[in-house]
Structure 1
């Protein structure tokens, strides 16, 4: 099968769109660049559709690579014939391919191999012909050497037949069909671990049974984690008698001595070879689907988190709250640079609340603070209450900011490089403040798995997870755009076509030569060639540049076109910026060409209307119910404000201002059926919830979304 046909069969996208997209990918173009600046060639495909083409292109190439390896291995065994070669070349998936390769795999010596070495293969062929009577007399001829009895000969022949049955694609597919549709996964607790404290979180699965095809992803991943940690044992089962009967009907033609031997061999092949192998395969397939579902949830959450509302370039005082060790304070300028740091002790055991309030007031005035960011960890509520007692001279907004992953960042190489002379507490506080200013710019420095969203992220395929999350981060960074004169190397590395090494080169060039004054200056960065400039320039913004287009998403390749539009209107390019009246006068059809069509021209006009517009909403202040300090303050029926801090397939977790987050189960998101949690709530959404149930011993809170 050809690459294009394979991708089209999987995506149902137009052939021309697939063909042109593959060509662009082969030219090392990135997904953000293709989706934004090559719409005419792709037929206006979006990032998701282009991502699917990338996915199936990789799948096809991996399949072809495996085919070549298998063909070579079989050829080396001198066992490759034209019919087998054609079957391998026509295989459309890895399962079919591996089934074809199964008889030729070099593995440990099997019972069948041993039987063949004893000369029992001819006897096995006689039995499989099902034409012989008095099979014991025939088997007696093979009693010699290490074959000391008729039953030994028959047993050896059955082992050979069992291997043949195991290698039959039709038999394997029949069992796969049964497993795919009717398999049950069941669990039993390991009795020695039943009282283990860590096992209690899995106690719902101590005795469990469910359809493997219908088990939700989060439940399967929980069960597999419990098994990995040694608390339970799992088993995959189907109706063995039904499956055996179907195999026997397929293979046994007559009722005679031979059929009895074949029936015994079928049972042996099924229990010893087929069921263990194929049930593991079925479980792995279910795990793969669960991984994909969990990764999809994680990717959606991460996108919402990265595109969270920024406060913007405001001067921020950030606080990492604590009791015994005090509250670490940092003052940041509008660009996130550290200006001051110290520690206050307003809470027990020192209880210097008055001194702390005076210090915060003084620092706020000295550094002209416009907003305060408080980490949402230990002592967060107490610190927020303290801040709200202070009478500031200016209007200062107070925000509670998620600390998830801040400790990971503060101990990372990136943080050490940024702040070599400060300890982890200062770095963590800086991260909290910068998250308020620009969540995207700060969160890209942290391993996405440490940000605290998603479900079972450490249990899924880590390679697939990293690949998917990298795509999400790159998509978000390029959708927002990057100020090249203030961005960290971490943020720059996700810009289309840049990567870590070039990001470092840009960062170092800026440090040595000062800010970039135009997009053309970017070409002066060492090792940044024309191709990289083409891919990345339009996603890099230059504030207060001579050419206003340098602070827009208009690609440099379209500058001449914009200049032509302006000239024909008798205007300068700067006169068009934000001038909707003049822009509406432009006849776009006039500027269409073989390479530039209406989609690109419409994007240009939209960008000129509001150049560099941030697609994110601005941060809003949120206040929890001040009377709720801990889980013991909750009771059924309460209506509380909260912020969604995690979204899963089974519901959404909500921060209601205490240590424990509450769960809105999917069934409590609406009075009608809910198929997708994301259709009702999103990460960081401010909501009102109703308390349904409070389980203090297990520290669980059940909530309902209040409309």
Structure 2
């Protein structure tokens, strides 16, 4: 099987497109670059399809490497027959390959190994042949210093047979199918478990369901409960069906005396070797699938969060609210630079309300503040109400923003490098302000999983989670583009073709030489070669550049084409940009080249209409119900405004202005069946919800969007 055939079986794309992507990846092209600027070569594949092809390529290479290692190991043992070699060569399934390798794997000494050392393998072969009678008499011929009697001889032979049964590829494959369809996960509580911890997993203290049908969140919850010592679980099937199939496969002559010994060996093989191994395999497979679902939920949420509407370049006063320690205030300029910081104490116990109001008014006037950003943590609602009572001299928009990850950022090296002379409280307030002006630019500084918009993100495969979230961040950064003269090192590091080290070099170059005047200047950055320039250039923007195309998504390789378009229309390049009437006259087919095809040219024309357009919407002010501040203010039947702040496979959580977010179960999102929560709601969406149930003791609120 070729790599193209292997990938084509998993990805819905033509072979020609797969081969083009593989070639481009081999040329060190990045996925954002391929998706955006090589559409004509790939047949217009999007980033998701290209990522799947890249993953398929990695998987194929891993399988090929494993096949080589297995064949080499078996060959070194002098056991690689032409038949076995052909089986290994023809298999592209890792599980099947491991089954083929199982008899030759180095392992701890087994019961079968001891029996072989005691000379009992010929006896096992006689029993397995199923032709002999008077097996006790035959067994008596194999007695020696280590085998005292016929029973010991027969037991040793059965140990060898049990191992052969265990190593039978057909039996393992069929049992996997049975377990895959019919295995149940059954839980029981652990005696003496912490009652407080156990309460969180109350549903799973005595639970049973088909493993294959268990939703991702339920399986991950059970695994966490088991890890925390709350429950024990078993993966099991009806043994009768499994043993019946195995006996049919092995016993060819049930009337022979050997049949009874084979039955015992089969039962032993199943109980001691096969059932534990395969139940563990199917659990791991179910866990892998559950991880994939949870990671996709997290990735979708993260993408929505990163692409949340920015307020833009405004002067912002940011507040990290608090009671006893006060509210930390920072004033930021249009680029997010720190102008001033202060602490006020408008709430209990100090209640310096009048003084705090005076300070806020003074700061808004002194620093020409356009908007106020309030963190949504402790004392958020009270701080919002306090701010709205202040009579400002001009209109000032007030926003409540998510604090998720702000404390992680404030204690990070990035934050210390940015603000070495300020403590974590000031840095946290800066993050709250900056994530209003540009959520993407600020949130890339935080490890994605610390943003907290997933389900069971600490329970899934961490390397897969990191890889997927990094991919999402890169996708978002490159879809928006970055200002080359203001972007942080963290933001630049996600730009196609740049990475962490080159991002440092760009920032250093900017510090030494001042702002970039054109994209070509990037080539002067230390270690930024022609390939990196090709991959990165079109994803960076230079506002007010000499060449207006430097502030667009048009790739420098197409500048000459745009100039020719303008010349043919007797216009200057600047006059063509945003000139819809002139752009409508251009026939892309007339300008196609080997590198820039018709699909790329259509993108260029769209970009010329609205150069550098940010795909994100604008930030909107949201107001909670002023009468609801704590869970005790809620009662059944209330209809409230809320913001979706987390999406899971089983529903979404909505912030209605109290500390606890309420759950809208998937069945309550809308009338009728919903298969995917993301089809109905998006992160940060403003919604109306009805209170269904309030459980103050457990701090749980059930909501409905079916009003």
Query: For this structure pair, what is the TM-score category when the shorter chain's length is used for normalisation?
Result: over 0.9
Partner of 2:98: 98
- Please give the residue correspondences for 1:20-169 in structure 2 after superposition, counting only pairs within 5 Å: 20-169=20-169
- Counterpart-to-counterpart distance in 2, 1:376 and 1:220: 31
- 1:631 matched to 2:631? The reply is yes
- 1:7 matched to 2:44? The reply is no
Partner of 2:230: 231
- Counterpart-to-counterpart distance in 2, 1:174 and 1:257: 27
- Counterpart-to-counterpart distance in 2, 1:495 and 1:37: 15
Equivalenced residues, count:
706
Partner of 2:258: 258
Cα root mean square deviation, aligned? 0.7
- Please give the residue correspondences for 1:275-286 in structure 2 after superposition, counting only pairs within 5 Å: 275-286=275-286
* 3-state SS of paired residue (2:142): coil
* 3-state SS of paired residue (1:528): coil
- Counterpart-to-counterpart distance in 2, 1:292 and 1:580: 44
- Superposed CA deviations along residues 75-119 of structure 1, whole A, max 9, x for unmatched, are 121111111111111111100110000000001000000000000
Q: Contact 1:688 / 1:706 at 8 angstroms: preserved in 2? A: no
- Counterpart-to-counterpart distance in 1, 2:487 and 2:588: 35
Partner of 1:299: 299
- Superposed CA deviations along residues 528-554 of structure 1, whole A, max 9, x for unmatched, are 000000000000000100100000000
- Measured after TM superposition, the shift of residue 593 of structure 1 is 3.0
* 3-state SS of paired residue (2:212): coil
- Superposed CA deviations along residues 580-615 of structure 1, whole A, max 9, x for unmatched, are 011111122211233322211110010000000000
- Please give the residue correspondences for 1:47-446 in structure 2 after superposition, counting only pairs within 5 Å: 47-193=47-193, 195-254=194-253, 255-446=255-446
- Counterpart-to-counterpart distance in 2, 1:522 and 1:497: 12
- Measured after TM superposition, the shift of residue 354 of structure 1 is 0.6
- Counterpart-to-counterpart distance in 1, 2:150 and 2:347: 87
* 3-state SS of paired residue (1:317): strand
- Measured after TM superposition, the shift of residue 394 of structure 1 is 1.0
- Counterpart-to-counterpart distance in 2, 1:177 and 1:478: 43
Partner of 2:682: 682
- Counterpart-to-counterpart distance in 1, 2:632 and 2:342: 34
Partner of 1:495: 495
Partner of 1:468: 468
- Measured after TM superposition, the shift of residue 50 of structure 1 is 0.5
- 1:671 matched to 2:671? The reply is yes
- Measured after TM superposition, the shift of residue 241 of structure 1 is 0.8
- Counterpart-to-counterpart distance in 2, 1:207 and 1:477: 46
- Counterpart-to-counterpart distance in 2, 1:324 and 1:12: 58
Partner of 2:572: 572
Q: Contact 1:314 / 1:333 at 8 angstroms: preserved in 2? A: yes
- Counterpart-to-counterpart distance in 2, 1:450 and 1:587: 48
Q: Contact 1:189 / 1:232 at 8 angstroms: preserved in 2? A: yes
- Counterpart-to-counterpart distance in 2, 1:20 and 1:641: 49
* 3-state SS of paired residue (2:34): helix
Question: Which runs of 5 or more structure 1 residues have no equivalent in the other structure?
Answer: none
Partner of 2:615: 615
- Counterpart-to-counterpart distance in 1, 2:346 and 2:9: 65
- Counterpart-to-counterpart distance in 1, 2:311 and 2:12: 42
Q: Contact 1:654 / 1:662 at 8 angstroms: preserved in 2? A: yes
- Measured after TM superposition, the shift of residue 200 of structure 1 is 1.1
Partner of 1:16: 16
Q: Contact 2:668 / 2:706 at 8 angstroms: preserved in 1? A: no
- Measured after TM superposition, the shift of residue 143 of structure 1 is 1.4
- Measured after TM superposition, the shift of residue 12 of structure 1 is 3.5
- Counterpart-to-counterpart distance in 2, 1:93 and 1:242: 26
Q: Contact 2:165 / 2:266 at 8 angstroms: preserved in 1? A: yes
* 3-state SS of paired residue (2:192): helix
* 3-state SS of paired residue (2:644): strand
- Measured after TM superposition, the shift of residue 706 of structure 1 is 4.0
- Counterpart-to-counterpart distance in 1, 2:146 and 2:16: 66
Q: Contact 2:671 / 2:706 at 8 angstroms: preserved in 1? A: no
- Superposed CA deviations along residues 466-518 of structure 1, whole A, max 9, x for unmatched, are 11111100000000000010000000000000000000100111011110000
- Counterpart-to-counterpart distance in 2, 1:323 and 1:239: 59
Question: Which runs of 5 or more structure 2 residues have no equivalent in the other structure?
Answer: none
Q: Contact 2:161 / 2:265 at 8 angstroms: preserved in 1? A: yes
* 3-state SS of paired residue (1:10): coil
Question: Which segment drifts farther, 216-225 or 628-637?
Answer: 628-637
